[in-house]
Amino acid sequence: MTAENSLDTATTILKSKQCSLCLVVVADSLVEDLADGFSQAYPKGTNLSEGATAFLLASEEGLKHLNQKPLGQLTKVQFDDDKNLPHKPFAIKDFISYYDSNALDLLRADILSPRPEYTLNLQKPDGSQSLIQWTPRA
């Protein structure tokens, strides 16, 4: 849940006014010595791969400093390792692969598509779940 933790931490820092811009970067790499463990943890057919993605989150002050308008607002980041989220997540089989960088990349792709709202529901093979919600600004 590194991506979800990173987004949650960034929004907390921005809301507390400790900074006005926060760069969230998540990367996944394959470690040869751990390949057997990963292939046992993820369902057969999961494309275990490397990847990275980044988001620049900003407060209103940060947007003014950059002279930019917001693409939207991150409205909810929720993650739960106890499987108690109040939603039914997509099963891992619905994704070609799901690593933390994939979560942000899926969110990035939908932010750039014309949708009124986007909710990314994820579930890892261990049953842990997360929800990331984004609302575009008009």
pLDDT tens digits for range 12-50? 999 999 999 999 988 878 888 988 887 777 767 666 777
Q: What domains, with CATH codes, occur in the chain?
A: 2-136 (3.40.47.10)
**pLDDT for position 26:** 83
Cβ neighbourhood burial of 69 (10 Å; 0-12, 13-18, 19+) = exposed
Pair 110, 132: CB distance under 8 Å: no
Bridge partner residues of 56 (DSSP): 23
The token pair at 26 is 């998540």
**DSSP E strands: which ranges in the chain?**
21-28, 51-58, 72-80, 118-123, 129-136
Alpha helices in the chain (DSSP H): 2-15, 35-41, 60-66, 100-111
**pLDDT for position 64:** 95
- Based on C-alpha coordinates, what's the Rg of the chain? 16
Backbone angles phi, psi at 23, to 5 degrees: -95, 120
Mean pLDDT of 47-72: 87
Give the integer Cα–Cα distance in Å for 107 and 118: 8
Mean pLDDT of the chain: 77
